[in-house]
Structure 1
Amino acid sequence: MDGSLPQALFPLLRQGLGGLPDSLEAVARALSAHRAYLFRLEARGGTWYASQLAEWAGEGTSPQIQNPDLQDLPMEEAGYGRWLEAFLQDQAIGGPVRTFPQAERPLLEAQEIQSLLVVPIRVDGALWGFLGVDDCQRARGFTPEEETLLRVMAEALARTLELWERTRWLGNLVEASPFYLARLGPEGTLRYANPALRQAFPQGLSLPVEKALARPGRPCTLTAQGARAVEWTLVAIPGPGPKALEVLALGIDVSEREEARLQEARWTAFRRNLLRVYETLMAEGLSDSIFGLILEAALDTIPSAQAGSVTVLMEDGNYHFVAAKGYDLEALRQVALRPEEPLSLTGHAEAQIFTWRDLQRFNARLDPERRQVMEEAGRVGEIQAILSVPVYLAGERKAFLYLDNLEREDAFGPLDLELAQAFASQLGLLLRRLELEGQLEHLAFHDPLTGLPNRLFFLEKLAQALKEDPRGLAVLYLDLDGLKLVNDLDGHAAGDEVLRAVAGRLRAVLRPRDLVARQGGDEFLVLLTGLKAPEEAVGVAERLLEVVRLPIPVGERVYHLTTSLGIALGEAGLSPGEVLQRADLALYRAKGEGKDRLSFFEAHLQEALRREMGLLEALREDLERGQGLWLVYQPIVDLQTGQRVALEALLRWRLAPPSEFIPLAERHRLMPQLGAFALRQACREREGHGLPVHVNVSPQELLDPTYPQRVAEVLEATGCPPEGLVLEVTESTLIPDERGRDASQSLQILRGLGLRVYLDDFGSGHSSLERLAHLPVDGVKLGQAFTQALGTPPDPSSPAARLVGAVLALAQALGLTPIAEGIEDAQALAYLKALGFPLGQGYFLGRPAPLYNGDQ
């Protein structure tokens, strides 16, 4: 924008008001606007009127110069009193039109204006009009620099108006201008210089005019560096002779701006390098290697430094070299510098510059042995200037940073000294904080239990990886299956040991560049980078699944856990939170599909999650109100007589089938509430049919030690006799571990009350013959998969038929009542009946249906 100001002013300076259209175009382009204009303000009869005098409109923008609504517009009556008040106070109006008061917007929006900036013009101290620009494509604000440019243009226009209205010569303005103004001949000779230029360049001025002469009428810019930095705009115009050209030059002293830019660049480098040191220290902690990083950061911050070293105060009271660049560090490690050395390189309190003369005096007083080492290491002979910076910890000098120049003794200036001192001060604060609060800092980014990075650290690394190579990364979200059982059975101390063991295994099987972090609870996060294809992520994920499956010995116990794992691949434009959410959705899918498996994120998972959350909320509400849920009953039939001997209660819901809402309730641990509803309703409705009622019990219910008590309370409240209730449990509930033993104890108590227990879907679980003989059950229900595998008609010689016969024989041998499920045709019924099954259940014998007037 800096070169745009002269381009906007030149037409006014050369042509007066005749150059106004070109100036309006230049200022519009400088401000990325689509329209620029000049309005006259006049007060007549106590009313201010505005009329448009001049305009420039860009291509595709509707001109408004002929718009009658913009001539003799009464400002206050038209709703622009705010503008008038601002102009009288020399204030600008600017910003998106949509933010303006409603009264102002119709006229502006009719001109397709999205944003505008207008500034007042004062001539001879009085309000004369206003200058403005429009953006017709986007709503935006305008920066102070943009307002300044427009105000400078308005001021130049005001001066031009004053000059032309009073018939003054343009030369008066040129002579009084603080800008450098000159006329140059085609050979570059100075034909005219205004007072400001003559004062700044008493020895004369030489500027390259060839580029301007090659393109007459088109300004070109250049910046000349010397005693001062000047930004020049040159334009070739017709000269005094025929076909002759001369060059007009407008210069603006930008020395302060260039100096400020240079200083800001140096301070930016300082902040960047200091931040790098902070990041490394927080990630790796304080060690000897950090001093090398400190030295590199300082050398990068101060370009005049060509080599350097770091000394640290050790326990022996001397300063020892711990880092060097440009020198032999191993040789320098043999040297110990005492704080009272004559040169006082280790005794000064602030950053200080020494020259080669100071180093010679210091070298002369060293003992021969140390002097030889210093010379062999190149520490003395080549240095022309050294910038020595003490580093403080808790008010005590603990280290020194030496920055060396090998060419000039005046290489370091005041800014170098200031930067070095600031660097050391900040570094000292950092080192002190790490020394006193190192453990706290470590905990901020690490999990105290496992020692792994935590979620905060993981998100920072994920954000960095997304910037560097989003398509080459993957995030794995792991959730341990079974840790809650460990905590419930053996306490959280055992669970913590399991978490530490799993953390170690995960870290051990990952590649060096990968990152594993603990999300919290029993969840872990893994960041994979540098992936060539998604298959690489699958390979790593499968290794993680395998190591979690391995037995985990803790004390005298051995635990068997699995993990569910979701994978989300990186994409450009995704935030860390979005990637993590995708991995979480994939994990949710993996758990829903049966755990101990991996799943990739797919877009439809978000829609499925929204549906699940809606169903979950509705199910909770229906459970609270006791509405929308009911029972249907499927008969259990005596195969010999065809009579119904019992009914199985099956739960139904208004919004989803059992295949959907039962797994939903299991995932969100709503089965105890659903089970309680079904048990209470089945016992209450039994009075209507008088048959024993079978009710399914979920593992979540049975693992609650208070479950037997709650069943007894329901029997008492509903008047249902114990022999009228049969509980059906699955084999997985009674697996041979601590959890299964607790469930078995609950069943023993319930059987002691007079209830019967049946093992549901027998054959699909893990029961062995030995285990089955000791299970606290009264009967088994043959899984319908076995029944359906018999074929139509059943083949007695098939493996399926032999398995069904074996199950029947086993049940009879153990004194258990067998029930064949899944009977769906007459042929299966006849075969099972002939085989000797006493009881059966299936669609052929009766479909699930609600009770009506005591009959289903």
Structure 2
Amino acid sequence: MDGNWGLGLFQALLPLLRKGLNGLPQALEAVGRALLAQRAYLFRLEERQGIWYTSQLSEWAGPDTTPQLHNPALQNLPMREAGYGRWLNLFLQDRAVAGPVRSFPEEERPLLEAQNIQSLLVVPIWVEGRLWGFLGVDDCRREREFPAEEEAFLRAVAEVLALAMELWERTQGLGHLLEAAPLYLARLDKEGRLLYANPSLKRAFPQGVSLPVAEALSVPGRPRTFLSQEGQAVEWILLAVPGPGAEVLEVLALGVDVTEREQARARETRWNTFRRNLLRVYETLMAEGLSDSLFGLILEAALDTIPTAQAGSVTVLMEDGCYHFLAAQGYDLEALRQVCLRPEEPLSLTGHKEAQVFTWKDLERFNARLDETRRRVMEEAGRVREIKAILSVPVYLAGERKAFLYLDNFEQEDAFTPLDLELAQAFASQLGVLLRRMELESQIQHLAYHDPLTGLPNRLFFLEKLAQALKEGAEDLAVMCLDLDGLKLVNDLDGHAAGDEVLRVMAARFRAALRPRDLVARQGGDEFLVLLTNLRSPIEAMRVAERLLEVARLPCPVGERTYHLSTSIGIAMGEPGLSPGELLKRADLALYQAKGEGKNRLSFFEPQLQEELKREIGLLEALREDLEQGKGLHLAYQPIVDLSTGQRVALEALLRWRLAPPSVFIPLAERHRLMPELGRWVLRQACQDQALHGLKVHVNVSPQELLDPTYAFRVAEALEATSCPPANLVLEITESTLIPDERGRDASQALWALRELGVGIFLDDFGSGYSSLERLAELPVDGVKLGQAFTQRLGNPPDPQGPAARMVAAVLALAQALGLRAIAEGIEDEAVLAYLKHLGFPFGQGYLLGRPKPL
């Protein structure tokens, strides 16, 4: 132990060595300050009928720390039954209890947290081989561990304290006890005159004492007991001593000073009243929950427990930095609510750290500083007149004076006793517990009903407000579902931290764009909900939605990058009889339609949407099931013909499904990101079938597949698994695949990787997209397919001078110039076939040349 600890130990032990147990308060203060704690205390442990009880005997509490010495919960506490069996077991093993309260078992924490204890260190005290009690300190400001030297310091103090108690118990003999509890002895004659008085009686009653000898004379030989309260409480036993012939000789009187006993009895009666009143408060709390009215109940209970208090009030520190009245008895509370008590003003009675009594003289001095407005309000409420004394008690919450309990007397300035201050302090402690619980419940409720990222209400809060609005009238409200377009790109490019910041920005924008009475909530992910009420027409809802579309499109700077996003909005108008869930479902269907139409737009719910979605979901589930089980799907092959010889040179694999045509299920699969799985099945099946027909096989590839970085590997795996030569596989892509997506990705890398495999690549529906000649010349493309829209516009017979014929001729010339093979699709009659041959088209495809059939 270093010099600093040695000095601290000396300062803690010196009061005990000088004064014995009378030096305990000073010793506890030295212990608390040495260990940088806010409380130091001594508890007694007693075993009664097999149950260990503990009671707090002494305490030191530092500044801004609520004392607990008179906390009823810390008196006669059954250790094991109250959840502290672990402590008792450690004490019986002469071990300490130490560390942050948060690390303690759950059953131990409530009582400790109610005292604002963050960490504690407690060591047992043994006296003559018996567990006598424990000595401890509390840290109410921080969580910490206590090193070995701090425990050694506290144990050293405990050992000296144990020696002091052993010495006290050995020196207190019967004589000392008799001197400590004075006995009064007297002899009186039959008229009550004093014949003899011992020294103790003479010292206590120098003017003499009047005793009711008549009662003793009425029953000679039988003792009579009565209590006198003249200056002090004395319990007397009188005995009329009979002589020969039953004549009374004299009256003997024995008196015992029971002032302390009576005071203790009165004290216990007051504390019982406190407990009874407090129980009533908590019964109300359990029945009705937390509310401001509980402050009034605690004030009412305090006035009932402290009869000298004739009126009172409670103030609480609010967010504006002022104390405001929340409860009052004997005053006009509504008038007092207009008063703001600033903490720095002496007249606020908020500068003191412990319970304190202010007299009318203090009040006169403070009230003289009141401004005229507040003086008038306070006088109208009766708060400044006729008060002789105010008992003011601070209420602490996390070390801050959060509230004050004021108890007033109108008759005398010394109306309040030390016991009154203790009881008022106990009520103030309960106010602190109540404030802490209200704070925690408020935090819990906020967490339960709000999104932690954006601070917006969450889905649960939104549904409750929507249900309430529907009850008040469904005709003038609307619900919107919003989905951010482009947030996934932000997350993929710069991580979820950037995405979270974008969500916060968008949440603030949406909130600012709404009307004051409207509600916006975050449903989760990139989805938001909006509730509009008091609408005059759907047009008003549309205008609000357009504002939301507009603010979502604004550039969104985050860090060094600026993002450009948009939103899609589905709107459902309220209707009588709809539940909140049904209305949300309608808005979600409308959102689905808006996104399907191209995003960055709004859509109102229409009844047919529900049936369309139901059909679509049914088809989607069936398609997924067939794909997983490998049934219901097959390939049909349409021939590609050499127009000069009429011979088949290749087959195009076309996917067919049992429940819907390609024009229905292919867009369905694209919307629901199912094309990669379908494409994998088609590719594997087409490569297997190629060995059977021996011709080149053409397979259509979706943009979703080509934008997958692993697509070329999957093609290589399929070729290897089916032993299909790469030169016999031709992949057909659309021009839209060549356009970069929202992330800037395109199919260029995949095309070059496929070219390295030796796979052929054709550009399908050439002329219907947006590819440039420059880009076409750069890409590894082997050929182009003229879309059937061009061949169908040629006419029957074709007009060689018509625009359609000139366009077809231009496409062929371009393909020949670039060294690309050209295939004309959609050939359905002889005249068109003859014209295409005349132009010089090498290959053709269409119903005239062969319809799609299973292999």
TM-score by length of 1: 0.53
Contact conserved, 1:309 with 1:401, CA < 8 A, in 2? Answer: no
Residue 580 of structure 1 deviates from its aligned partner by 1.5
Match in the other structure for 1:393: 397
Q: How does 1:97-246 map to 2 (within 5 A)?
A: none
Match in the other structure for 1:21: none
Find 1:717's aligned residue among 704, 721, 729: 721
Contact conserved, 1:632 with 1:850, CA < 8 A, in 2? Answer: yes
Could you say if the C-alpha distance between residues 850 and 542 of structure 1 is closer, same or farther in structure 2, counting changes exceeding 3 Å? farther
Instruction: Work out the CA distance in 1 between the residues paired with 2:692 and 2:646.
Output: 21
Contact conserved, 2:634 with 2:655, CA < 8 A, in 1? Answer: yes
Residue 611 of structure 1 deviates from its aligned partner by 3.1
Instruction: Work out the CA distance in 1 between the residues paired with 2:330 and 2:757.
Output: 86
Secondary structure class of the residue paired with 1:471: coil
Could you say if the C-alpha distance between residues 339 and 272 of structure 1 is closer, same or farther in structure 2, counting changes exceeding 3 Å? closer
Contact conserved, 2:505 with 2:556, CA < 8 A, in 1? Answer: yes
Find 2:842's aligned residue among 825, 838, 842: 838
Residue 775 of structure 1 deviates from its aligned partner by 3.4
Residue 434 of structure 1 deviates from its aligned partner by 7.4
Contact conserved, 2:336 with 2:381, CA < 8 A, in 1? Answer: no
Instruction: Work out the CA distance in 2 between the residues paired with 1:426 and 1:818.
Output: 90
Q: What percent of counterpart residues are identical?
A: 69
Q: Give the counterpart letter for 2:541 in structure 1.
A: A
Match in the other structure for 2:369: 369
Quick check: 1:307 aligned with 2:335?
Answer: yes
Cα deviations across residues 91-120 of structure 1 (Å, max 9, x unaligned)? xxxxxxxxxxxxxxxxxxxxxxxxxxxxxx
Could you say if the C-alpha distance between residues 624 and 501 of structure 1 is closer, same or farther in structure 2, counting changes exceeding 3 Å? same
Contact conserved, 2:331 with 2:381, CA < 8 A, in 1? Answer: no
Residue 836 of structure 1 deviates from its aligned partner by 4.7
Q: Which is further off, 774-783 or 472-481?
A: 774-783
Could you say if the C-alpha distance between residues 307 and 653 of structure 1 is closer, same or farther in structure 2, counting changes exceeding 3 Å? same
Find 1:288's aligned residue among 310, 316, 319: 319
Could you say if the C-alpha distance between residues 696 and 287 of structure 1 is closer, same or farther in structure 2, counting changes exceeding 3 Å? farther
Contact conserved, 1:475 with 1:568, CA < 8 A, in 2? Answer: yes
Instruction: Work out the CA distance in 2 between the residues paired with 1:658 and 1:625.
Output: 20
Q: Give the counterpart letter for 1:704 in structure 2.
A: D
Secondary structure class of the residue paired with 2:378: coil
TM-score by length of 2: 0.53
Cα deviations across residues 244-269 of structure 1 (Å, max 9, x unaligned)? xxxxxxxxxxxxxxxxxxx9xx9999
Secondary structure class of the residue paired with 1:646: strand
Match in the other structure for 2:694: 690
Residue 532 of structure 1 deviates from its aligned partner by 1.5
Q: How does 1:38-53 map to 2 (within 5 A)?
A: none
Match in the other structure for 1:767: 771
Structure 2, unaligned runs of 5 or more: 1-280, 296-316, 409-424
Secondary structure class of the residue paired with 1:647: strand
Match in the other structure for 1:644: 648
Match in the other structure for 1:11: none
Quick check: 1:383 aligned with 2:414?
Answer: no
Find 1:669's aligned residue among 667, 673, 685: 673
Could you say if the C-alpha distance between residues 382 and 741 of structure 1 is closer, same or farther in structure 2, counting changes exceeding 3 Å? closer
Find 1:655's aligned residue among 652, 659, 664: 659
Instruction: Work out the CA distance in 1 between the residues paired with 2:596 and 2:788.
Output: 23
Contact conserved, 2:335 with 2:381, CA < 8 A, in 1? Answer: no
Instruction: Work out the CA distance in 2 between the residues paired with 1:579 and 1:403.
Output: 55
Match in the other structure for 2:531: 527
Secondary structure class of the residue paired with 2:747: helix
Residue 632 of structure 1 deviates from its aligned partner by 0.6
Could you say if the C-alpha distance between residues 307 and 767 of structure 1 is closer, same or farther in structure 2, counting changes exceeding 3 Å? farther
Instruction: Work out the CA distance in 2 between the residues paired with 1:275 and 1:651.
Output: 73
Contact conserved, 2:572 with 2:604, CA < 8 A, in 1? Answer: yes
Structure 1, unaligned runs of 5 or more: 1-262, 278-285, 320-334, 349-357, 405-420, 852-856
Q: Give the counterpart letter for 1:701 in structure 2.
A: E
Secondary structure class of the residue paired with 2:641: strand
Residue 634 of structure 1 deviates from its aligned partner by 1.9
Could you say if the C-alpha distance between residues 339 and 562 of structure 1 is closer, same or farther in structure 2, counting changes exceeding 3 Å? closer
Match in the other structure for 1:472: 476
Match in the other structure for 1:567: 571
Could you say if the C-alpha distance between residues 482 and 641 of structure 1 is closer, same or farther in structure 2, counting changes exceeding 3 Å? farther
Instruction: Work out the CA distance in 2 between the residues paired with 1:604 and 1:824.
Output: 37
Residue 656 of structure 1 deviates from its aligned partner by 2.0
Contact conserved, 1:634 with 1:846, CA < 8 A, in 2? Answer: yes
Residue 826 of structure 1 deviates from its aligned partner by 4.0
Match in the other structure for 1:23: none
Instruction: Work out the CA distance in 2 between the residues paired with 1:552 and 1:674.
Output: 37
Residue 401 of structure 1 deviates from its aligned partner by 8.9
Could you say if the C-alpha distance between residues 651 and 431 of structure 1 is closer, same or farther in structure 2, counting changes exceeding 3 Å? farther
Quick check: 1:635 aligned with 2:663?
Answer: no
Residue 728 of structure 1 deviates from its aligned partner by 1.8
Cα deviations across residues 338-361 of structure 1 (Å, max 9, x unaligned)? 4569xx9x968xxxxxxxxx9987
Contact conserved, 1:651 with 1:658, CA < 8 A, in 2? Answer: yes
Quick check: 1:579 aligned with 2:607?
Answer: no
Secondary structure class of the residue paired with 1:733: helix
Contact conserved, 2:322 with 2:340, CA < 8 A, in 1? Answer: no
Could you say if the C-alpha distance between residues 746 and 483 of structure 1 is closer, same or farther in structure 2, counting changes exceeding 3 Å? farther
Q: Give the counterpart letter for 2:740 in structure 1.
A: P
Secondary structure class of the residue paired with 2:577: coil
Residue 685 of structure 1 deviates from its aligned partner by 0.8
Contact conserved, 2:378 with 2:384, CA < 8 A, in 1? Answer: no
Secondary structure class of the residue paired with 1:679: helix
Q: Give the counterpart letter for 1:380 in structure 2.
A: E
Residue 566 of structure 1 deviates from its aligned partner by 1.9
Secondary structure class of the residue paired with 1:379: helix
Instruction: Work out the CA distance in 1 between the residues paired with 2:532 and 2:664.
Output: 34
Could you say if the C-alpha distance between residues 337 and 561 of structure 1 is closer, same or farther in structure 2, counting changes exceeding 3 Å? same
Match in the other structure for 2:610: 606
Could you say if the C-alpha distance between residues 675 and 392 of structure 1 is closer, same or farther in structure 2, counting changes exceeding 3 Å? same
Instruction: Work out the CA distance in 2 between the residues paired with 1:272 and 1:438.
Output: 10
Instruction: Work out the CA distance in 2 between the residues paired with 1:702 and 1:435.
Output: 56
Residue 683 of structure 1 deviates from its aligned partner by 0.7
Q: Give the counterpart letter for 2:382 in structure 1.
A: I
The count of aligned residue pairs is 533
Residue 653 of structure 1 deviates from its aligned partner by 1.3
Could you say if the C-alpha distance between residues 832 and 447 of structure 1 is closer, same or farther in structure 2, counting changes exceeding 3 Å? farther
Match in the other structure for 2:822: 818
Instruction: Work out the CA distance in 2 between the residues paired with 1:828 and 1:298.
Output: 96
Q: Aligned Cα RMSD in Å?
A: 4.7
Find 2:463's aligned residue among 459, 466, 491: 459
Q: Give the counterpart letter for 1:307 in structure 2.
A: A
Secondary structure class of the residue paired with 1:616: helix
Find 1:484's aligned residue among 469, 481, 488: 488
Contact conserved, 2:332 with 2:381, CA < 8 A, in 1? Answer: no
Q: How does 1:395-434 map to 2 (within 5 A)?
A: 397-399=401-403, 432=436
Residue 429 of structure 1 deviates from its aligned partner by 5.9
Residue 806 of structure 1 deviates from its aligned partner by 4.7
Q: Give the counterpart letter for 1:600 in structure 2.
A: F
Could you say if the C-alpha distance between residues 367 and 458 of structure 1 is closer, same or farther in structure 2, counting changes exceeding 3 Å? closer
Residue 703 of structure 1 deviates from its aligned partner by 2.7
Could you say if the C-alpha distance between residues 496 and 742 of structure 1 is closer, same or farther in structure 2, counting changes exceeding 3 Å? farther
Instruction: Work out the CA distance in 2 between the residues paired with 1:792 and 1:832.
Output: 12
Quick check: 1:743 aligned with 2:747?
Answer: yes
Q: Give the counterpart letter for 1:588 in structure 2.
A: Y
Contact conserved, 1:825 with 1:844, CA < 8 A, in 2? Answer: yes
Residue 314 of structure 1 deviates from its aligned partner by 6.5
Contact conserved, 1:391 with 1:397, CA < 8 A, in 2? Answer: yes
Residue 848 of structure 1 deviates from its aligned partner by 1.8
Match in the other structure for 1:681: 685
Contact conserved, 2:322 with 2:343, CA < 8 A, in 1? Answer: no
